Amino acid sequence: MRLGRDVLDGKLVVALLNALPALLIGSGLALFVGIPAGFALGRSRALATMFDPVIDAVYTIPPVAFVPFLIIWFGLYLWARVALVFLMSIFEVIIAVSTGARDVNPGFLDVGRAFGARGLMLAWKVTLPAMLPFLFLAVRIALVRGINAMITAELFFAAVNLGFLMNDDARRFDTAGLLSVIVLLALFGLLVQEGLKVLEARALPWHLREAA
Amino acid sequence: MRTLALRTSGVALVLIVWELVGRRLGDALLAPPSSVIAQFVPQLLDGSILAALGGSLRQMFVGFALAYAIGVPLGVAMARLRLVDALVHPWLNMAVVTSVAALVPLVILFLGTGFWFQVSIVFIAAFWFVILAVYHGARGIEPRLLEVGRAFGARPLQSFSKIMLPALFPYLFAGARIGLTHAIRAMVVAEMFVIVGYGALIHNAGLTVSTAPLLGLILLLMVLGIVANWSLTRLSRLLAPWYEHRAGG
C-alpha cells in the first residue's frame, strides 16, 4: 500500500533516480580498474602470489570502517558516495575476474597457440571470450554490491535521496515509510540481478547449454 | 621458497608505495605506515582500544551464534523439504541483495540502540549467508548416502545427525567463515551508525588531525578478520583433515 503510494507520487522514484549516478560511476570505475587487474592476477602466477595476500587482507576490512577516511578525502556528497561504491565492489570484481581468467581451459589456449596466436591476440581472441561468463558475473556483483554501497553511503555520509527519506521516516516513527524504501531497494537489486541473468542467457547461450 | 619471496615482496611493495605516498601527502591526508606505528602502538598498549573491541566482539558473537544455530538447520530443511524451500527462498533472494545498512534505521525504531539492536543487526547480516552456504552443501549430498541410511532403518532425525551433518562438514565451515565475515562487517555498520563501542572509536578518530589513529583502527579490524579466517580454516583441518581437497577447507 504505502510503497504503491510513494512510488506513485514520485517521491521514491525521484530519490532512486538521484541515487543512481553514484552507483553507476562507482561500479563503472570498479569494473574499469577491476577487470584488467583481475585479468592480470588470473593469468600471471607470479603476480597472483605477490598480491593475492594483500587483496585478501584488505578485503576482510569492513568497508564502512573507511567512511571517516573517505570523508577526509572526498567530503560528504557525490564523490564520497562514488568512492564507497567503488571500494565495496572493486575487490569482488577482481576476485571474480581472476577466478575466471585462471579457469580458462588450457586446451583452448593450446589450439590458439597452434594457430599462431601470441600475446595480446591470444588474450583478445581466446582468453577473453572464454571468460565472458565471469565478466557477466563481475558486472552483476559490481552492481548488486554497488546498490548495497549506495544506500549505505546515503545513510553514512550526508543523508540524501533514499537515505534522507529513511532518516526522515525514522524521525517520525513511520515504519511503513521505512519499509517501503527497503522493499524498493530489495526489488531494485533483484531486478538488476535477474535482468543481467536474462541478458547473459541471451548473449551467451552456449555457456548455459554447457552448464545444463 | 620462491613463493615466500614473491609474497613478501608483494606486501613489501605495497607498504613502500604507501610509505612514499604517505610522506608526500602528510599525516592529515594519508599517514604513512611509519607514523601509524609510532602513533597507534602506544594507544593500543594503553588497553582501552582492545577493551572496546572486546565489548563489541561479545555482542557480535551473540548475534553470530544465534544466526548460526538457526541458519544451519533451516538451510538443511530448505535443501531437503520442498515446502520450506518454497517458503524461504524468495526471502533469501531478497535478503542477499538488500543492504544491512538500510535495515539499521528500522531496527533502531523497534529495539532502540542497545545490546539487542547490535545483536539483531549482526544476526540479520550473517543469517542469510549461513543459510546460503549450508543450503548449497545440503543440495549436493548424494542421494545414495541417504538411501543407504534408510535401508539400515535410520529415522529422519538420525539421518540428519549421522549422515547429513558429516557430509555437510566442509560447508558448515564455509558458512561459518562467510557468516563471520558478514557479522564483523555488520558489527561495524551498527556501531558506526549509533556511534558506540569500537565504531565510536573509528568515528572519533576520523575527527582528529592525523589519519594515523584511524588507519591503525582499520588495520586492527583487518588483523581481526585475518585471524578469524585463519583459525576457522585451521580448526576445520584439525577436525576433518580428509576434507582438505573439497570446498576449499
Please report, for the domain that includes residue B83, its CATH number. 1.10.3720.10
Whether B96 is covered by a domain: the verdict is yes
Give the count of domains, chain A: 1
Whether A53 is covered by a domain: the verdict is yes
CA-CA distance, B244 to B248, in Å (whole number)? 7
CA-CA distance, A121 to A127, in Å (whole number)? 9
Give the count of domains, chain B: 1
Contacts of B202 in chain A (CB under 8 A): 65, 67-68
Whether B7 is covered by a domain: the verdict is no
The per-residue pLDDT string of chain A (212 residues; one tens digit each, 9 = 90 and over) reads 566 666 666 777 777 887 788 888 888 888 898 888 888 888 888 888 888 888 888 888 888 888 888 888 887 888 888 888 888 888 888 888 888 888 777 778 788 888 877 777 777 777 778 888 888 888 888 888 888 888 888 888 877 778 888 878 877 877 888 888 888 888 888 888 888 888 888 887 776 555 54
Q: Does A73 touch chain B (CB under 8 A)?
A: yes
- Please answer whether residues B188 and B202 qualify as being in contact, where contact means their C-beta atoms are separated by less than 8 angstroms: yes
Show contacts of B113-118: CB within 8 Å, 24+ apart. B113/B194, B113/B196, B115/B59, B117/B190, B117/B194, B118/B56, B118/B59, B118/B60, B118/B63, B118/B187, B118/B190, B118/B191, B118/B197
**DSSP letters along A156-183, please?**
HSS--HHHHHHHHHHHTT-HHHHHHHHH
Whether A24 is covered by a domain: the verdict is yes
Whether A172 is covered by a domain: the verdict is yes
In this prediction, the answer to ipTM > 0.85 reads: no
Whether B6 is covered by a domain: the verdict is no
Q: 3-class DSSP state for residue B94?
A: helix
- Please answer whether residues B185 and A61 qualify as being in contact, where contact means their C-beta atoms are separated by less than 8 angstroms: no
Whether B191 is covered by a domain: the verdict is yes
Q: Does A211 touch chain B (CB under 8 A)?
A: no
CA-CA distance, B8 to A40, in Å (whole number)? 19
CB atoms within 10 A of CB B11: 15
Whether B211 is covered by a domain: the verdict is yes
pTM of the model: 0.83
| Yes or no, beta carbons of A65 and B221 under 8 Å apart | yes
Averaged confidence pLDDT in chain B: 82
| Yes or no, beta carbons of A51 and B10 under 8 Å apart | yes
Contacts of A81 in chain B (CB under 8 A): none
In chain A the first and final C-alpha atoms are separated, in Å, by 40
Show the domain range for B61.
Answer: 39-243
Q: Does A69 touch chain B (CB under 8 A)?
A: yes
**Which chain A residue shows the shortest CA-CA distance from B177?**
A60
CA-CA distance, A162 to A47, in Å (whole number)? 41
**Which chain A residue shows the shortest CA-CA distance from B209?**
A72
Whether B249 is covered by a domain: the verdict is no
CA-CA distance, B245 to A127, in Å (whole number)? 27
Show the domain range for A22.
Answer: 2-101+132-204
Residue A208 is predicted with a pLDDT of 59
